[in-house]
Amino acid sequence: MSGNQATLDVNRLRHSYEDRVIFHRVGFSWTGPGIICVCGPNGSGKTTLLSMLGGACVPDEGDILVLGRSMRMVRGQILPLLSYVPDACPVYPFVTGREWLDFVQAARRPAISTAPDLVRRFGLVDSLELRFSAMSLGTARKFMLAAGLGTQAPITVLDEPTNGLDAAARDVLREQLLAIAASRLVVMCCHDVGEQRALGARCVELASLETA
């Protein structure tokens, strides 16, 4: 990544649900590598913002530039540069862990994947043939994280990645995020202040991102 070009450049995002305005003019410019944690009270719009940064939600107004390229103008070119793990689990219940990993890997070709190593480190080898409908919250989250963190995307977006994880899985997650953040940008939301500190995350209040 260029030292001068912003990794992520957000210009005047506006978004609303029915009559409620979530954002009015959200704007910022961040240059990686590193970890940024978006903070704010529940209901402030953190999940909505992260879904926009991950390419899963389109704002009513404004634009998101990834490495200088506009999400509105060349969305198809932008999405391969992003890896997004939402707080919810959008996987069909009949899909197995192995099928999910294979699907994500096929969709991201020719990116190099470290997902098999993460499957081992997260202790998922014996759960590969398990369907998501039969998984515990923690197991489903670990499969989501293995798929999302196993890419070479320049920007990784994570919404409450520690939810449902036991202590051992949190250790694996922390190690992987620190490895990614050495050369790439991680944007996340995490209520655990101790985890924020352990990751050396730069904490940014969502309210402070509103521009005039």
2-6, 124-128, 189-193: least confidently modelled range: 2-6
Look at residue 18 in the predicted model and tell me its pLDDT: 81
Say if strands 61-66 and 69-70 run parallel, antiparallel, or are unpaired. antiparallel
Residue ranges per structural domain of the chain: 34-55+81-201
21-25, 126-130, 141-145: least confidently modelled range: 21-25
Burial class (CB in 10 A: 0-12, 13-18, 19+), 110: exposed
Look at residue 24 in the predicted model and tell me its pLDDT: 84
DSSP letter, residue 32: S
How many residues appear in the chain? 212
User: Furthest-apart CA pair in the chain: how many Å?
Assistant: 53
Average confidence (pLDDT) over 81-96: 94
Q: Using pLDDT thresholds of 50, 70 and 90, give the confidence band for residue 3.
A: low
Three-state helix/strand/coil letters over 128-167:
CCCEHHHCCHHHHHHHHHHHHHCCCCCEEEEECCCCCCCH
Does the domain at 34-55+81-201 match CATH 3.30.750.24? Answer given as no
Look at residue 29 in the predicted model and tell me its pLDDT: 92
d(CA 90, CA 68): 29
Over pLDDT 90: what percentage of the chain?
Answer: 70
Look at residue 22 in the predicted model and tell me its pLDDT: 85
Q: Using pLDDT thresholds of 50, 70 and 90, give the confidence band for residue 110.
A: low
pLDDT tens digits along 51-74: 999 999 999 999 999 999 999 899
Average confidence (pLDDT) over 12-22: 87
